[in-house]
Amino acid sequence: MRLSEKEFWGLTLAQFNSLAKLYASEQETLNYRVALVCSVIAEVNRDKKKRSKPYTPSDFMPKKKKMKLTGEQMMDQIKAVNIALGGEVK
């Protein structure tokens, strides 16, 4: 996120969430650039008899994983954030 440690710990949760979304968007753009190059290379070397469908950048983009957490896993994450922010675990 290109922040110093002092800047990072001075963020509010809303500021952190905004920066995290911006960072994720930047990473998506960088991934797309690489995927575009990969798709062009694959397309010029594609055997049209074996694969009739042209390659696209989306064929080379990382797949997004959807995490499903249990209640216990959610509580563990909440406790970890609480400790990181100087709170106590009960």
pTM over 0.75: no
Q: Which of these, 67, 89, 71, lies nearest to 79 by C-alpha position? A: 89
Q: Where are the domains positioned within the chain?
A: 5-63
Helix residue ranges, H only, the chain: 5-9, 13-44, 71-84
Q: Token digits for 60?
A: 């080379």
Q: Give residue-wise pLDDT tens across range 24-72.
A: 899 999 999 999 999 999 999 999 999 999 999 999 998 877 778 888 8
Element (H, E) at 88: none
